[in-house]
């Protein structure tokens, strides 16, 4: 989960439904409920494919590195994810954790000692066998190496303590965790790197400049279905089938079927669209405004537009509830009267009633979006709570809530005041450069002004906004987005009151409110709870608390839309995995 | 002349120091730094980020940071680009050639059209042809580059005559040397026209204005009066006198040779420096931006020097 600065995001959703404003919320709920994710698994039976052919994709930016330990941005992982593999992986259809380089695993009674049995038929690109030494090396000498700055270390550290990783035999590895850690199996998707190639670089202290973009492609050694053969900065990446790949189809033919993968680096969406229409690209991720252009061309252009429901992640409006005192400036971060408004639950709920989600979807997303009610995206599947409190668009209800809390227009100037006669006036920021978010902010502002708030809307450069949220805390209200995950714990840093991304009041020493204390407790308990159903109960409760107290006032999500040429077999797009989650099984018909 | 050039070269040093110092400080005025983007990732801890910051001295005051940067510069080390995780020189080197050929072809396009057109319009002042070409070059000036690029790409997709952006065809490696050159040329055409037309109008107007001024001078009347053929009057007597400001402009435009044109590059998919630098500025990739500033500064000063030398060569009245 990370802060989003662009509107194009990874695909995601629950089911294939399209939100039409004519459907009542109840009906929608029913559709969602009767469309369980697991049903996809039965639909999909991979066919035996034919070898050869290429798939041409586009990406908006160059990767940052080919070293999966050093770089984790999506532009990088899109490529390294094909070259390297982890012990487990997340199934693109069911979103369950499934075996990958490890064929099985078990956990002891304490829930802290995990033993992984590795596949014995895996080879690196150069023919060397993959063994337990590589796993131990990846953790002990790379991730936990103090001289290698990397973000994986933060995932594999619990309360300041690291995991103990030991080799049992050539194909068995034992992980000893300091505490129980529920998302452990999912985070074992961490890419494993070859010891026989990298050991020397680590010893000589050169690992930080290993496998950068200048590295010769044939030196980048992984176990994945594809290997890099060419990289031209700003132009394209070419990947080729790994003939040594271990995964086989049902008739024991080795995968993948495709011979070549080409990523064209196309920075401009409009150019990518033209290229797709011309047949130069096999895949195109649509913006809402592209839908009316591409949909009618489907038959003529021999492609299909897929809509897989709301994207992952969240879009929300948040008020600054920071109760802290700025020692340097000698004043509170938030003016006392503003703090009184923003910490008032009625105030926030009233604002939630001012969000016209239907209009946002129709105007900003051209009808191709979904309303968001819960702290998770409906695309998140298992942990998503369908039954949280919803705030329908109702300005009268908003005014009523405000009146109850003592906010009303006493001097009849069109602007409501608090009990001390201060006009309710605040500034609303969002990051510039994200046109969709700016449009959303403008529509919301208009509704807020109708209720009687005075709102100053301003666009800020992304880094400037981050500084305000992170260190100077001089903001009133912000409209932002966070990327989502199917694993709620990965949002720990947002929801724990001590977290640095607990935006409305970060890094609290003790929870400021009882509901924040409750959420802290839930996250601490859930991460220790290895039973999925029990965990879901906890996270359901968390989503209900968030919906009641609305620290984040959720808005709408764009739907994932993409177009793929019809020539591919075994294509089975899903909410979580997008179009090519089963890339090794895809072939040309 | 030689001593003049040496003197000029010596003044480069304090000038360059001033340019980079101001650029460095102005850049530091923007809040935050590159690692703020990481800060918003819940899976990265504060410690990891401060580790990154202290590695590149970003936790020090701007003056101290500038000192570190300068010290590395003396060792010919431009520093490290955070975003691409490689040395700045590598990042620049990779795109330098691409940028250079695009800028060069755009410059040739502009100059080869603007100069003759300017002369033509001056000679045919206020006639229909003058009005027509002036109007045309103003249209070129007024169309935003990114839009013009899109229009051309759209036309290319309709006619299928030209490739849709990029620099090389996917099968470039399998082509013969001649085939490669042809392929490159085809890819160059759209960005060249887009960038070229945007500066066409300005240059054409300068050329036209200068010519008009010179053509009104008494020595031109004298030249005509003594019976010189009109083409000699225009190309020998008038042009030599009208060309000085153009040479100065030429010197300036040399500095643009390696700076790239971000928007056009982004739309036409040309892998040049412009889009890299734009991204660097937006993400506060400090050392990459400084590298580009330094390069731009050197080229600007060098271009001016070249222009001054050319002026002395073309105009005997100018002496140093």
| Residue-wise pLDDT tens digits, A94-124 | 888 999 999 999 999 888 999 999 999 999 9
Considering only the beta carbons, identify the residue of B32, B42, B279 that sits closest to A491.
B42
Q: Which of A235, A465, A488 to mutate to test the interface with B (most CBs of B within 10 A)?
A: A235
Residue A433 has pLDDT above 80, yes or no: no
| CB A281, CB A58: distance < 8 Å | yes
Which pLDDT score is estimated for A282?
94
Q: Distance between CA A173 and CA A163 in Å, rounded?
A: 12
Asked if residue A258 has pLDDT above 60, the reply is: yes
* A216 shares contact with chain B (CB less than 8 Å): no
pLDDT given at position A39: 39
- Assess whether pLDDT exceeds 60 at residue B161: yes
> Is 60 exceeded by the pLDDT of residue A236?
yes
Mean pLDDT for A292-297 is 90
Interface of A with B in 149-168 (CB under 8 A): 149-151, 153-155, 157
**What percent of chain A is modeled with pLDDT above 90?**
45
pLDDT value of residue A566 = 93
Best mutation target, B30, B32, B39, B40, to test chain A (most A CBs within 10 A): B40
- The span from the CA of A316 to the CA of A318, in Å, is 6
pLDDT tier for residue A14 given thresholds of 50, 70 and 90: very low
Q: Which long-range contacts (CB under 8 A, 24 or more apart) does A253-257 make?
A: A253/A48, A255/A225, A255/A584, A255/A585, A256/A225, A256/A226, A256/A583, A256/A584, A256/A585, A256/A586, A257/A49, A257/A50, A257/A51, A257/A52, A257/A53, A257/A584, A257/A585, A257/A586, A257/A587, A257/A588
User: For residues B110-123, b (16+ Cβ closer than 10 Å) or e, as one string?
Assistant: bbebbbebbbbbbb
What's the average model confidence in pLDDT over B36-55? 74
Check whether A29 has a pLDDT greater than 50.
no
Q: Give yes or no for residue A20 having a pLDDT over 50.
A: no
Most confident of A223-227, A498-502, B71-75, B289-293: A223-227
Q: Do A501 and B42 touch (CB under 8 A)?
A: yes
Residue A432: closest CA among chain B residues belongs to which residue? Answer: B282
> How far does the CA of residue B31 sit from the closest CA of chain A (Å)?
5
The SS3 call for residue B253 is: helix
Give φ, ψ of B213 to 5 degrees: -65, -45
More confident residue, A555 or B54: A555
pLDDT at A537: 93
Please give the C-alpha separations between residue A444 and each of A276, A314, A478, B280, in angstroms, as whole numbers: 35, 16, 12, 32
Does the pLDDT value for residue A15 go beyond 50? Answer: no
- Chain B residue with CA closest to A266: the answer is B269
Give me the pLDDT at residue A124, please. 94
Q: What is the pLDDT of residue A13?
A: 33
The answer to whether residue A65 neighbours chain B at the CB level (below 8 Å) is yes
Q: Give the tens place of pLDDT for each residue, A347-404.
A: 999 999 999 999 999 998 888 888 999 988 887 778 888 889 999 999 999 999 999 9
Is the pLDDT at A27 greater than 60? The verdict is no
Provide the percentage of residues in chain A whose pLDDT is more than 70: 93
- State phi, psi for A83 to the nearest 5 degrees: -90, -35
For chain B, the average pLDDT equals: 85
> Which pLDDT score is estimated for B42?
62
**Residue-level pLDDT at B267:** 86
- Cβ pair A463:B32 closer than 8 A: yes
Report percent pLDDT > 90 for chain B.
5
Rounded-to-integer distance, Cα B283 and Cα B37, Å: 8
How close is the nearest chain B Cα to the Cα of A70, in Å?
9
Q: How far is CA A368 from the centre of its chain?
A: 19
**Are A235 and B44 within 8 A, CB to CB?**
no
Least confident of A347-351, B35-39, B73-77: B35-39
Place of tokens 């009104």: B216
CA distances from A367 to A304, A310, A363, A364, B21 (A): 19, 12, 7, 8, 51
- Residue A487 buriedness (CB in 10 A; 0-12 / 13-18 / 19+): buried
B113 vs chain A: nearest CA distance in angstroms?
Answer: 28
Residue B193 vs residue B320, higher pLDDT = B193
What region, left, alpha or beta, does residue A412 occupy, with left being phi > 0 and alpha being psi -120 to 50 degrees? left
Alpha-carbon span A431 to B263, nearest angstrom? 20
Contacts of B95 in chain A (CB under 8 A): 233-234
* Contact assignment for B42 to A232 by CB distance below 8 Å: no
Give residue B173's pLDDT band: very low, low, confident or very high (50, 70, 90): confident
Q: Can you tell me the mean pLDDT for A437-442?
A: 91
B119-151 pLDDT, tens digit per residue, is: 888 888 888 988 898 888 888 888 888 888 889
pLDDT at position A28, please?
33
Find chain A residues with C-beta within 8 A of B267's C-beta: 267-268, 270-271
Residue A408 phi, psi dihedral angles, 5° rounding: -150, 165
Q: What is the mean pLDDT of residues B184-197?
A: 90
Q: What are phi and psi of A574, to 5 degrees?
A: -130, 170
Flag whether pLDDT at A34 surpasses 50: no
The answer to whether A31 contacts chain B (CB < 8 Å) is: no
pTM of the model: 0.79
Nearest-by-Cβ selection for A266 from B165, B170, B276: B165
Pull the structure tokens for residue B175.
Answer: 């082509």
Instruction: Measure in Å the smallest separation between the Cα of B11 and chain A Cα atoms.
Output: 37
The minimum CA-CA distance between A212 and chain B, rounded to whole Å, is 7
B60 vs chain A: nearest CA distance in angstroms? 17
**Higher local confidence (pLDDT), A121 or B54:** A121
Residue A16 has pLDDT above 60, yes or no: no
Residue B277 predicted with pLDDT over 80: yes
Tokens for B291, please give them: 């590298």
Token pair for residue A15? 């089911």
| CA geometry: angle A15, A21, A24, nearest 5 deg | 75
Query: Distance from A85 to chain B by nearest Cα, in Å?
Result: 20
User: What string of DSSP letters covers A203-257?
Assistant: HTT-GGGSS-TTS-GGG----SSEEEEEEETTTEEEEEE-TT---B-TTSPBSP-
* List of domains in chain B: 89-314 (1.10.3720.10)
State residue A152 phi and psi, 5-degree precision: -65, -35
Higher-confidence residue of A589 and B37: namely: A589
Q: A493-521, pLDDT tens digit by residue?
A: 889 888 878 889 988 888 999 999 999 99
pLDDT number for residue B41: 67
Helix B273-282 to helix B286-314 angle (10° resolution) is 130
User: Which residues in chain B are contacts of A277 at CB distance < 8 A?
Assistant: 157
Q: Please determine, for residue A30, whether its predicted confidence score (pLDDT) is greater than 70.
A: no
Write down the pLDDT at residue A217. Answer: 92
Least confident window among A101-110, A164-173, B192-201: B192-201
Q: What tokens does A589 get? A: 């018909």
Average pLDDT of chain A to the nearest whole number: 86
Asked if the Cβ–Cβ distance from A467 to B32 is below 8 Å, we say: yes
Residue A227 predicted with pLDDT over 90: yes
pLDDT tens-digit series, residues A332-343: 899 889 999 999
Interatomic CA distance for residues B166 and B171, integer angstroms: 13
CA angle B85, B89, B93 (to 5 degrees): 105
For residue A120, the model assigns a pLDDT of 92
- Per-residue pLDDT band at B300 (split at 50, 70, 90): confident
Query: Is pLDDT at A22 greater than 60 in this prediction?
Result: no
Q: Do B36 and A150 touch (CB under 8 A)?
A: no
Contacts of B154 in chain A (CB under 8 A): 274
| Between A313 and B81, residue with greater pLDDT | B81
Q: Which of A428, A423, A424 is nearest to A477 (CA)?
A: A428
pLDDT of residue A11: 35
List, in sequence order, every residue forming a beta bridge with A59; answer none if it has no partner.
A265
| A172-175 LR contacts (CB < 8 Å, sep 24+) | A172/A115, A172/A116, A172/A117, A172/A118, A172/A132, A173/A87, A173/A102, A173/A115, A173/A116, A173/A118, A173/A132, A173/A135, A173/A136, A174/A113, A174/A114, A174/A115, A174/A116, A175/A113, A175/A114, A175/A115, A175/A116
Average pLDDT over residues B299-307: 87
Query: What are the backbone angles phi and psi of residue A229, rounded to the nearest 5°?
Result: -120, -20
pLDDT value of position A3: 52
A5 and A434 Cβ atoms separated by less than 8 Å: yes
Interface of A with B in 67-106 (CB under 8 A): 67, 70-71
Higher pLDDT, A447 or A13: A447
Q: Which among B44, B95, B170 has CB closest to A151?
A: B44
pLDDT digits (tens, 9 = 90+) for A516-545: 999 999 998 898 888 889 999 999 999 999
Q: How far is B194 from chain A (nearest CA, A)?
A: 15
């Amino acid at each position: 989960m990370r802060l989003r600065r662009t509107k194009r995001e990874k695909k995601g959703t629950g089911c294939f439904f399209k939100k039409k404003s004519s459907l009542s919320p109840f009906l929608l709920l029913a559709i969602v409920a009767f469309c369980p994710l697991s049903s996809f698994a039965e639909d999909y039976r991979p066919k035996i494919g034919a070898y050869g052919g290429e798939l041409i994709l586009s990406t908006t930016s160059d990767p940052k590195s080919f070293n999966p330990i050093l770089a984790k941005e999506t532009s990088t992982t899109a490529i390294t994810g094909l070259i390297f593999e982890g012990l487990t992986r997340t199934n693109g259809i069911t979103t369950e954790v499934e075996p990958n380089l490890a064929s099985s695993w078990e956990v002891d009674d304490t829930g802290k000692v995990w033993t992984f049995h590795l596949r014995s038929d895996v080879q690196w690109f150069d023919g060397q066998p993959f063994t337990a030494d590589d796993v131990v090396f990846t953790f002990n000498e790379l991730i936990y190496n103090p001289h290698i700055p990397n973000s994986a270390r933060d995932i594999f550290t619990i309360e300041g303590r690291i995991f103990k990783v030991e080799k049992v035999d050539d194909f068995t590895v034992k992980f000893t965790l300091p505490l129980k850690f529920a998302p452990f199996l999912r985070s074992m998707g961490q890419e494993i790197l070859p010891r026989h190639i990298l050991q020397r670089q680590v010893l000589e202290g050169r690992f930080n400049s290993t496998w950068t973009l200048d590295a010769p492609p044939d030196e980048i050694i992984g176990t994945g279905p594809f290997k890099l053969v060419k990289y031209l900065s700003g132009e394209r990446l070419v990947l080729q089938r790994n003939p040594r790949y271990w995964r086989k189809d049902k008739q024991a033919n080795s995968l993948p079927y495709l011979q070549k993968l080409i990523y064209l680096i196309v920075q401009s969406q409009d150019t990518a669209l033209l290229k797709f229409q011309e047949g130069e690209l096999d895949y195109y991720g649509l913006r809402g405004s592209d839908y009316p252009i591409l949909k009618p061309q489907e038959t003529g252009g021999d492609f299909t537009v897929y809509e897989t429901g709301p994207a992952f992640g969240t879009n929300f409006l948040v008020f600054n509830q920071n109760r802290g005192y700025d020692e340097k400036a000698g004043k509170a971060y938030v003016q006392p009267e503003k703090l009184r408004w923003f910490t008032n639950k009625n105030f926030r709920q009233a604002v939630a009633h001012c969000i016209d989600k239907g209009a946002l979807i129709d105007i900003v997303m051209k009808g191709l979006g979904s309303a968001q009610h819960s702290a998770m995206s409906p695309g998140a599947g298992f942990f998503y709570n369908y039954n949280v409190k919803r705030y329908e668009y109702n300005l009268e209800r908003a005014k009523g809530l405000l009146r109850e809390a003592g906010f009303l227009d006493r001097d009849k100037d069109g602007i409501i005041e608090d009990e001390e006669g201060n006009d309710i006036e605040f500034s609303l920021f969002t990051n510039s450069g994200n046109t969709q978010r700016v449009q959303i902010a403008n529509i919301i502002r208009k509704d807020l002004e109708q209720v009687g708030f005075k709102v100053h809307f301003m666009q800020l450069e992304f880094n400037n906004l981050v500084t305000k949220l992170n260190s100077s805390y001089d903001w009133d209200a912000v409209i932002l987005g966070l990327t989502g995950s199917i694993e709620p714990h990965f949002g720990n840093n947002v929801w724990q009151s001590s977290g640095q991304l607990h935006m409305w009041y970060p890094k609290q020493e003790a929870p400021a409110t009882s509901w924040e204390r409750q959420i802290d407790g839930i996250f601490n308990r859930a991460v220790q709870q290895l039973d999925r159903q029990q965990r879901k109960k906890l996270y359901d409760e968390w989503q209900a608390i968030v919906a009641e107290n609305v620290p984040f006032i959720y808005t709408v999500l764009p739907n994932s839309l993409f177009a793929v040429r019809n020539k591919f077999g075994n294509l089975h797009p899903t909410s979580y995995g997008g179009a090519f989650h089963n890339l090794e099984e895809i072939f040309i018909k | 002349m030689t001593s003049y050039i040496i003197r000029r070269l010596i003044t480069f040093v304090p000038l360059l120091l001033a340019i980079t110092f101001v650029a460095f400080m102005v850049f530091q005025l923007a809040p935050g730094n590159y690692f703020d983007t990481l800060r918003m990732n819940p899976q990265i801890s504060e410690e990891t980020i401060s580790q990154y910051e202290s590695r590149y001295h970003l936790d020090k005051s701007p003056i101290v940071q500038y000192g570190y940067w300068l010290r590395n510069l003396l060792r010919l080390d431009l520093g490290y680009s955070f975003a691409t995780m490689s040395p700045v020189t590598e990042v620049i080197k990779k795109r330098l050639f691409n940028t250079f050929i695009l800028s060069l072809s755009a410059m040739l396009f502009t100059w080869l059209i603007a100069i003759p057109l300017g002369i033509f319009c001056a000679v045919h002042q206020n006639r229909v042809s003058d009005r027509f070409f002036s109007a045309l070059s103003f249209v070129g000036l007024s169309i935003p580059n990114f839009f013009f690029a899109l229009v051309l790409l759209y036309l290319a997709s309709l006619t299928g005559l030209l490739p849709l952006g990029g620099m090389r065809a996917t099968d470039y490696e399998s082509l013969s040397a001649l085939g490669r050159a042809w392929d490159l040329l085809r890819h160059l055409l759209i960005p060249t026209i887009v960038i070229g037309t945007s500066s066409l109008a300005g240059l054409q107007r300068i050329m036209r204005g200068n010519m008009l001024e010179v053509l009104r001078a008494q020595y031109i009347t004298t030249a005509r009066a003594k019976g010189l053929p009109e083409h000699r009057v225009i190309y020998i007597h008038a042009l030599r006198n009208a060309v000085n400001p153009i040479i100065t402009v030429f010197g300036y435009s040399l500095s643009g040779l390696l700076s790239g044109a971000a928007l056009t590059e982004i739309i036409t998919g040309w892998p040049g420096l412009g889009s890299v630098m734009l991204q660097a500025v937006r993400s506060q990739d400090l050392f990459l931006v400084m590298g580009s500033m330094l390069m731009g500064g050197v080229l600007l000063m060098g271009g001016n020097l070249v222009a001054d030398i050319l002026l002395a060569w073309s105009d005997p009245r100018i002496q140093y």
